[in-house]
A and B are shown apart, each in its own frame.
Chain A
């Protein structure tokens, strides 16, 4: 009696072995799962051939039957069966990865996603991706966006919170102050335990607990003309939540030069204002307010008071503007100044025009050195010249 032909057992290799072979080159890597699984995560250079289509599509994915061909699936079961099929089709150097992509990831080996999002992210942002105006593409834009917030206080707090929730991938926070009990009436990103700690640190802790996808960069220093240009260059959109005029004018001058959009709001007592400045497309802050008022006409919240909810109301309008800019949808408040009065719950919209003679964004605006950013030009000389 002839010896029973032993069924050739399909070669199985461990993920780390597969990784070594792949790194060595000359490996054809085949993913034997379904398209939606592939979308979520797959091995780089893995070619998708779903099990039901194996016979039809393997020739295209793996034309050379003598080439080293490694198959993987989710747990190693489907790839094992697929490997058997390939051997029956005449492939001579086939292996199945034991444990599949699950074992691969458990061993810390990297995967890529066609959709760019992990399964957890697809769940977390599902209420965004359901919106046709956002979708997966929009959510990816948000995850890749870098937004800088000037001030992690009244306006910065709610804006940062909701931008983090939305999945803005990088949030820079500029603030050199520490948390004070009087902040907690409106700066809800902080809490009682954080009193005395730097605001940027406190904000980072809250954001990390809310959304681990967000990378918070703390800029624990005071902005000035020597550091602002480099800082702004690293970000896509700036949120102005400053509490003083010099910073607002400095930010304006630098953002116009670098062509960075700024979402700018301010609050006092029961009133808020907000506008969005996109350099050269619309007006800049100086077109709107060529000169700051004297001190007695510009009290601070600490001197004058502010209804706590004002910070939330205007801060969230700021967050909304940021999302529209990042996503490229809707109409941002460019050329529009929105006034909100909380006592009457009334919104008023005013037109803001580009000033052709603006010393910063006007057609004849001169180039100025960094040291002049935020300063006031000699208007008479400028207009005469």
Chain B
């Protein structure tokens, strides 16, 4: 199972967890596993067209999936998926 790192603004929707394990062979499947387990995260991550919201960055290990294969990017068990919306606080 891959590990998903949850940003501060989504932790309330995951019951406070900062990391969630999820099964899936690509980024899309792993994120859908997350939204299945924590439905409140769905709206923040995905638009009505099923695509990732433009304002949420998702990284596979250290690379933005947009420069890889997007939601089709393959995921291994040792991988970390990082969800990262922008933060403005200063």
A contact residues vs B (CB 8 Å cutoff)? 151, 153-156, 240-245, 248, 265-271, 273, 288-294, 296-301, 304, 306, 339, 341, 343-344, 348-353
Contacts and interface: CB of A to CB of B under 8 A. Distances in A.
A265 B90 contact: yes
A269 B62 contact: no
Interface residues of B, number: 24
A291 B54 CA distance: 6
B88 A271 contact: no
Interface stretch (B20-28, B29-37, B79-87): B79-87
Given A156-B90, A349-B62, 19 more contacts: A244-B88, A266-B86, A266-B89, A267-B90, A271-B8, A290-B55, A292-B88, A293-B53, A293-B86, A294-B55, A297-B9, A297-B44, A297-B55, A297-B56, A297-B85, A298-B88, A339-B82, A350-B63, A351-B63
B58 to A, nearest CB: 11
B84 to A, nearest CB: 8
Contacts of A241: 90
B87 A270 contact: no
Interface in B27-52: 44
Contacts of A269: 8
A148 B9 CA distance: 30
Contacts of B10: 297
Contacts of A240: 90
B7 interface: yes
Contacts of B57: 288-289
Residue of A155, A288, A289 with highest tally of chain B CB at under 10 A: A289
B90 A289 contact: no
Contacts of B9: 268, 293, 296-299, 304
Contact of A350 (B55, B59, B88, B89): B59
A267 to B, nearest CB: 5
Contacts of B18: 341, 343-344
B82 A348 contact: yes
A376 to B, nearest CB: 11
A248 B57 CA distance: 17
27 contacts: A151-B90, A154-B89, A242-B90, A243-B90, A245-B88, A266-B87, A266-B90, A267-B87, A268-B9, A271-B7, A271-B87, A288-B57, A288-B86, A289-B86, A290-B54, A292-B55, A293-B86, A297-B55, A298-B88, A301-B90, A304-B9, A339-B82, A339-B84, A343-B18, A350-B59, A350-B64, A353-B67
A243 B82 contact: no
Contacts of B86: 245, 266, 288-289, 292-293, 298
Across the A-B interface, the 10 shortest Cβ-Cβ residue pairs: A266-B87, A293-B55, A289-B86, A241-B90, A243-B90, A268-B89, A293-B85, A301-B89, A291-B55, A155-B90
Contacts of A270: 8
B31 to A, nearest CB: 16
A149 B69 CA distance: 38
Contacts of B89: 154, 243, 266-268, 299-301, 304, 306
Nearest to A306: B89
Contacts of A298: 9, 85-88
Residue of B55, B56, B85, B89 with highest tally of chain A CB at under 10 A: B89
A304 B44 CA distance: 17
Nearest to A310: B89
Contacts of B63: 350-351
A268 B90 CA distance: 8
A254 B57 CA distance: 24
B39 to A, nearest CB: 16
Residue of B8, B9, B55, B87 with highest tally of chain A CB at under 10 A: B87
A292 B53 CA distance: 11
B5 to A, nearest CB: 8
Nearest to A264: B90
Contacts of B88: 242-245, 248, 266, 292, 298, 300
Contacts of B84: 339, 350
B47 to A, nearest CB: 12
Contacts of A343: 18
